[in-house]
Structure 1
């Protein structure tokens, strides 16, 4: 795990990305923030051997490649999965049937997007802080 690597946020909603970027700027972390609009962009980025991010925070409901499909591709790619990148979902909603199916697979958390900026800021700080403090780095 590369605790100094980028934090990737992927969300097809431009407004949500703007809010998450603003929230991150208020947090005490120094990791570079990299924003993407869909899972295919993230997967292409992760295929680069130089890409070794710290954390992926992904929306679930996105066109082209949803968050679950992105996570499946990350897990099935030996080079990417070998980098041990925590993968957390953050979404306004998730279909219960889909969640049950994917809870059997490997991901590292699901959090519901908050409508209150303070709650959202606290949630993002807890998510990032957990991975910063909880796991030894490479």
Structure 2
């Protein structure tokens, strides 16, 4: 990848986080992967780090601060908003209401978690490749 900045995985299910980490490794993504079990911890990290972030992959339903609330907080934070970090939902939901709200919050993607590993690999390969070749303001 042209950028070596970390990928943040915000996922309260440890098994799902490990699966995403493994899938990224299996497709050759060498970026560091940082897992957070809730949006509150991820937001604190984003607000305090000087490190740039390549991509955020976030679940929707999580304790403390869910994915939608996390995206709202990022949008409200001038420093984080202007970093234009790609924010992609990767969740079990396929609710039209959730999808509409995510895009109203300016999410750059909303994907339902695949039921099999091969499909997860295909999805993550597409998402990471897209953001690797996309022009980015920061």
Aligned residues: 137
Q: Deviations over 1:56-108 (max 9, x none)?
A: 00000111111000000011100111111000000011433233233222110
| TM-score for both structures, normalised by structure 1 | 0.91
Match of 1:124 in 2: 124
Distance in 1, Cα, partners of 2:95 & 2:109: 16
Q: Matched residues in 1 for 2:28 and 2:98: separation?
A: 34
- Is it true that 1:82 corresponds to 2:58 in the alignment? no
Distance 2:125 2:48 in 1: 28
Deviation at 1:135, TM superposition (A): 1.8
CA distance in 1, matches of 2:49, 2:17: 26
Q: TM-score, normalised by structure 2?
A: 0.91
Shift of 1:36: 0.7
Tell me the residue number matched to 2:54. 54
Q: What CA deviation, in whole Å up to 9, does each residue of 1:96-128 have, x standing for no partner?
A: 323323322211000110111001011011101
Q: Which runs of 5+ in 2 are unaligned?
A: none
Distance 2:111 2:102 in 1: 14
* Divergent runs of 4+, >6 A: none
Q: Structure 2 CA distance, aligned partners of 1:116 and 1:132? A: 24
Match of 1:95 in 2: 95
* Deviations 1:6-54 (CA, angstroms, capped at 9, x unpaired): 1001000111011111111112222111111000010000012413101
CA distance 1:93–1:26, change in 2 (3 Å): same
